[in-house]
Amino acid sequence: IEIKMAPTGVIAGKITDGHGNPVECAYVAVALPDTVGQSPGWRAPYRETVTDDQGRYRLFDLPAGEYYVAAQTRTVQPMQALPASTADLRLSRASPGVSVSPYIYYPHATTPGDASLVRLAPGEQTTGINFSFSPVPTYEVSGTVQGTAWRLAGEKVSLILVPAKGA
């Protein structure tokens, strides 16, 4: 019995900030074209990793094919839990000097539809899939969640902001 295995490939690169400094712990993911939805956002990554202290990442063991590559810096802000008795939703303004980034799809797109696919041949190591992030100011969002279903204790509410077309 002879079993032939196709060699796998690698996609690698570096993430820097607007000043060219490496970005540590940035999230990087690849997805096959049929797993990316029509709306902005990252739905089903095929492989994911974080950058090292030099801003480098390496996604390995990838079968040959075409991939979307996306990256995002993650700034974690502590959030106080809302009392179960209120339906008010409030997100606190970020601390001065703290910034976050939206997803950036390779080469520098804000949606998968505007991104370029990275083609990977069997056994190929594709390097230089780099990203540069500029800080985005954070804002306060407030509102009221309405409806009786949201008044249940322990219920979770998610708020997803989607860029307007042409923004």
pLDDT score for 90: 37
Query: Under a CB-based contact definition with an 8 Å cutoff, are residues 51 and 15 in contact?
Result: yes
What are the angstrom distances between the C-alpha of 158 and each of 63, 70, 128, 161?
Answer: 34, 22, 35, 10
- Measured CA to CA, the distance from residue 29 to residue 67 in angstroms comes to 10
**11-60 tens-digit pLDDT:** 999 999 888 999 999 999 998 886 545 444 455 678 999 999 999 999 99
* One-letter amino acid for residue 133 of the chain: F
Question: Which residues of the chain carry a pLDDT beneath 70?
Answer: 34-44, 74-101, 135-140, 145-161, 163, 166-167
CA distances 26 to 50, 65, 75, 104, 158, Å, are 5, 24, 9, 11, 22
Q: What is the pTM of this model?
A: 0.64
